[in-house]
Amino acid sequence: MTQVPYLANQSDQDNTGILVSGSSAVPADRIMPNMSLDSLLTTIKLLLDTVGVLRVENPYHSWRILLWGDTIALVEEEGELAKTFLRKLKAQKLHLPDPSIISETSSGVHLYDIINEIYIQQEEAIRPILKEILFENLLSIYLENNFNCVWHPLPNPPKYNLPTWKFAILDEVARRAVEQWKQLQHIRHPSQTVQLLDKDSSIANLPLFAKVTNGKYRITEIADEFKQHISRTAQKLDKLAETRTVAILPLRPRSNRQTEQPTAPDDLNVSAIPQVMVVDDSPVQLKQMGDLLKTLGYRTQLVGDPRTVTQLMLEQKPSIALMDINMPGLSGFELIKEIRKESSLKDIELVLITSADNVTNKFRASWAKCRFLAKPKSSDDSHIAEFRQHLRQILREIVPLPSDVLV
């Protein structure tokens, strides 16, 4: 990849150690519509003595730029950071000590905390990955025009140890890359997808190539699959498009989002995040489920005594409740009857979770108008991943996060 010199975290501070406030020329929490690329870059320069998130949107993408003093720590496409981070880890054959700490659906500012912790543990291995993510998204921005922006300053900055880069250096590297991309005849953006046209060509017989040219993989993803720099991958695909071996598909507009009104980062609107109540008599499993839900981006309320659940529900009004079936004193099915007696709780969504994955329990759950979720059969990674996927699917259907895009 194009090399960008690594710099330690830097910020402009006064002699008290307090971050100097940023330029008042950029309004906070107000939409700045119809900005050209030059206007956007000028805005970034005006903000380089501050800490905060600049939300940048157009009809095709939504990015977040994390500005940190006179440097930039992250440039991420909203909803894609966790997925991209995990994909690049896999491409580099890197493994996390605890895979459950992050999933492809992890999102929001909480995700920054997770990546920060991972980076602290494996700085040398993770730094190039964060650099690649930043560069690819910055290149995507530089290849676009006409943005809507909102500046969200962080008056109490979190204590991140992420690597940061001087904007002047990033700007120079991105401009050079743009000149390379402008020489391409058929490709204009890293987020375009590729469709195989000539199925009889020799390259089409390569399983990996056939896999990534089905019209669903972005050029950024194809580059990771082949472990190549994105510009090199784009040049090769452009030549294949010239011979009609592949077609480069146009960008698709973002679905179900209002591009005219960018929203604030997730931590600025906590009430919009669904609260999930978890009921389990096992402290260990209660904590594990709570940690998982936080990783996914939800607020949690953990309850170890099923006898207190109904009253807590009346007081807290959670969005959904996940309940173990086999609990001493009051089973999951008995608890359901108690909850449903309350008129204000009769419509609350309930999910029964148990290791007893049998027809009887599934039938009883269905009869009680509850969802059913079987616990992992073992501690095997594949079983845990399958459980996480099923849980995320249920949550997305019933209590989607503000960042979820449902199609």
Q: Please report the pLDDT score of residue 100 as a whole number.
A: 78
pLDDT value for 108:
65
Q: Which domain holds residue 97?
A: 31-181
Position 15 in a domain: no
Residues 350 and 222 in one domain: no
How many domains is the chain built from? 3
This prediction has a pTM of 0.59
The answer to whether 55 touches 150, Cβ cutoff 8 Å, is yes
Which CATH number covers residue 332? 3.40.50.2300
The answer to whether position 220 is within a domain reads yes
DSSP string of 75-103?
EEETTTHHHHHHHHHHHTT---S-GGG--
Residue 145 shares a structural domain with residue 239: no
The pLDDT averaged over each successive group of 10 residues in the chain (407 residues) is 28 30 68 92 92 90 90 91 92 83 75 88 93 96 93 82 92 95 94 91 88 93 94 95 92 56 42 82 85 83 87 87 82 84 85 74 71 76 78 85 50
Residues β-bridged to residue 63:
56, 77
Residue 396 confidence (pLDDT): 84
Tell me, what's the pLDDT at 357?
A: 63
Provide the pLDDT for residue 332.
80
Q: Whole-angstrom Cα distance, residue 378 to residue 65?
A: 40
State how far the Cα of 407 lies from the Cα of 393, in Å rounded to an integer: 13
Q: Report the distance separating Cα 194 and Cα 187, nearest Å.
A: 10
E strands, 103-146, in order: none
Note whether 353 and 242 are same-domain residues. Answer: no
pLDDT value, residue 24: 58
Is residue 7 a contact partner of residue 71, using CB atoms and an 8 Å limit? yes
Order across the sheet with 193-196: list the strands: 214-218, 193-196, 246-248
pLDDT of residue 45: 93
In a domain, 234, yes or no: yes
Considering the domain boundaries, does residue 7 fall inside one? no
3-class SS of residue 296: helix
